[in-house]
Amino acid sequence: MKKPATKAAKKPSKKPATPPPPKPVKQRPDPIAALKPLTVVATTRSDAAPGQVAVIPTTVLPPGPYTITATGLEFNDSIMTLQHWQRLMQDLTTSKKRWHTLMADTLSYGRRNYGDSVVDSTLQQLELGLDDVRKSEVLARLPGDILHSKLISTEHAYVIARELPDATPQEQSKWAATAIEHELDPTQLARCIQSGEVLSKEELKEKSGKGTGGILTIQGIVQTFRLWLTNAGGPDALRRLPRAQRTELLTLLTPITDLHTLLTTSK
């Protein structure tokens, strides 16, 4: 007798899998608040000791409409606008006219906020020309109302800073106003400051050598050299210059040293 077929037990139905909780959405950090300091280690200086490098602390900056590179400008088309381009044109024009003033402001800001050692290290790595650095350093001594005046040129401001390094701001401002009032060019302004008074056009021509063939005298050259040496900080300051700047200075002085050697070795 056949046994009645038993119904197979029903397997318990599987519960649908519980979906995993959604991953939290990461908030994009503020690019400015997330800036991290970097250290750029790079030098091509020939006088660096073995294993010694020049370091300049810098910062990661968000991309801008353009980037100044060692060979030109690179533009970011996704950000660059007509207004950016027009501002760039204005900045380039200003930098051409006021390059030494801009550098003076930059050096002053760096020394005031980061210290002399950082500024000197940066200048050493960039190997800027000796004349450019010295001129900017001299300009940086001036009060802001003279340095940033729209009524006188950078050359006028440099003459005032060079000829009157120990004068009061009032005395320096007086000569800036004198240059404007009498329409003096930088050379004429220097002659007047050296004389301590405003010279007539005839006196200025005489002191500048006009009317006498424009012949310079060795006495005038020596006087100018001594004035330059004083403004440069004296021999001790020149000895502390980076090697690249000392090499440039020696090259400029070669015609004088060659003449000195010739005269001392002649019978």
Which residue ranges make up each domain of the chain? 65-97
Cross-strand partners of 57 = 39
Rg (CA), the chain: 33
Query: Would you state the pLDDT for residue 104?
Result: 94
pTM of the model: 0.55
| Predicted confidence (pLDDT) per residue in 43-99, tens digit | 333 344 444 444 445 555 677 888 888 789 999 999 999 999 999 999 999 888 899
Amino acid identity of 153? S
Output 175-184 pairs: Cβ under 8 A, ≥24 positions apart.
Answer: 176/146, 176/149, 176/151, 176/152, 179/152, 180/151, 180/152, 184/156
d(C-alpha 258, C-alpha 77), whole Å: 55
d(C-alpha 154, C-alpha 111), whole Å: 21
Mean pLDDT, range 26-50, rounded to an integer: 40
**How sure is the predictor about 125, in pLDDT bands with cuts at 50, 70 and 90?**
confident
| Predicted confidence (pLDDT) per residue in 190-248, tens digit | 889 988 888 887 777 766 554 444 456 777 787 778 778 877 778 888 888 888 888 88
Query: Would you state the pLDDT for residue 213?
Result: 43
